[in-house]
Structure 1
Amino acid sequence: MTGKEGARLHRQFDRIGRAVPASTGFLAWIRKPSSRIVRIPLGILLILGGVFSFLPLLGVWMLPLGLFLLALDLPFLQGPLNRLSFWVQRKWTNWQRSRKNKQR
């Protein structure tokens, strides 16, 4: 994976690793090119789990994670996922700030 979109995707994975420190080792392993044989089926399974999030033990969180894993190998997904990720982060930050302001 090369280019600007690939670098942005890797920064997103780094951000996830900082937010969930227990996942750092797994994320480093799954991002290696040699893990492609595990990464693609895992991404597909996570997407399917996200689609069936109405069932117990499955959740909507699985869908974006699966898409991010597939984006490591499918460059056409990298741009849209990066833009969506930055948009969600911006909205989340604005929502948290507005909540803090209302509490004051």
Structure 2
Amino acid sequence: MSKMKLWGRTVRLPRSRLLRVVMGFAFVGMGLVGFLPVVGFWMIPVGLAILSVDSPLARRFRRRAEVWVLRRYNRWKGRGVGSA
């Protein structure tokens, strides 16, 4: 099984590249109709994270988003640059 580390957690993914790509697009597609019950908009970032295992473009987007979120979180918590 493939593994993906995201925000400090390890997630196991299927070994098959085709299955990972199908799962990623399925999550993104179902996330686009997130206003419906059961599915939600949370599925879009999950699908992009799954796609980032095989796609350099999605990987770059995920890394930039992760850095952006962590910087915002640290600034909100008062742990920004220059604080002791």
Per the TM superposition, whether the score is higher than 0.5 is yes
**1:13 equivalenced with 2:21 (yes/no):** no
**Structure 2 match to 1:53:** 34
Amino acid at match of 1:15: G
> Relative CO higher for 1 or 2, CA cutoff 8 Å, sep ≥ 6?
1
User: 1:83-102 counterparts in 2 under 5 A?
Assistant: 83-95=64-76, 97=77
- Cα drift, residue 47 of structure 1: 0.1
**What stretches of structure 1 move > 4 A for 4+ residues in a row?**
none
The count of corresponding residues between Structure 1 and Structure 2 is 75
User: 1:12-91 counterparts in 2 under 5 A?
Assistant: 12-13=5-6, 15-17=8-10, 27-28=11-12, 30=13, 34-91=15-72
Q: 1:41 to 1:87 in 2, by over 3 A?
A: same
Percentage identity across aligned positions? 29
Q: Larger helix proportion, structure 1 or 2?
A: 1
Amino acid at match of 2:9: I
Structure 2 gap ranges (5+): 79-84
Normalising to structure 2: TM-score of the pair?
0.71
Q: Larger strand proportion, structure 1 or 2?
A: 2
RMSD after superposition: 2.1
Structure 1 gap ranges (5+): 1-9, 18-26, 99-104
Normalising to structure 1: TM-score of the pair?
0.60
Quick one: distance in 1 between partners of 2:39 and 2:74?
26
- Cα drift, residue 69 of structure 1: 0.8
